[in-house]
């Protein structure tokens, strides 16, 4: 993913979903992330990264379990969470940084 660094440096906060295709909690989180992307399209970028395909990004950001969500603001991680979250909780967490 050549433009990953550019994406996270956006002025608009960027939520990165670090996942794998074989992970059951990741599959549970996928529709939640899709809904979040629809609901917060104006204020938030959402990027999904398959850590099996982009191991270098996972290593750089110390991703040890999936799903891991990392919120970047101006290129810096400001929040992270591993595991499944309901959409209401996820929105509350993200809105603290928007």
Residues designated catalytic: 23, 26
Residue 86, Cβ neighbours under 10 Å: how many?
A: 9
φ, ψ (nearest 5 deg) of residue 88:
-65, -45
Structure tokens of 86?
A: 């309901």
Structure tokens of 69?
A: 């969500």
């Amino acid at each position: 993913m050549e433009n990953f660094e550019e994406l996270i440096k956006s002025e608009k906060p960027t939520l990165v979903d670090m996942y794998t295709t074989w992970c059951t909690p990741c599959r549970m989180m996928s529709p939640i992330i899709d809904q979040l992307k629809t609901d917060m399209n104006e204020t938030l970028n959402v990027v999904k990264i398959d850590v099996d395909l982009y191991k270098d990004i996972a290593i750089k950001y110390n991703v040890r379990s999936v799903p891991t969500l990392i919120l970047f603001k101006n290129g810096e991680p400001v929040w992270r969470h591993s595991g499944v979250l309901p959409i209401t909780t996820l929105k509350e967490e993200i809105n603290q940084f928007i």
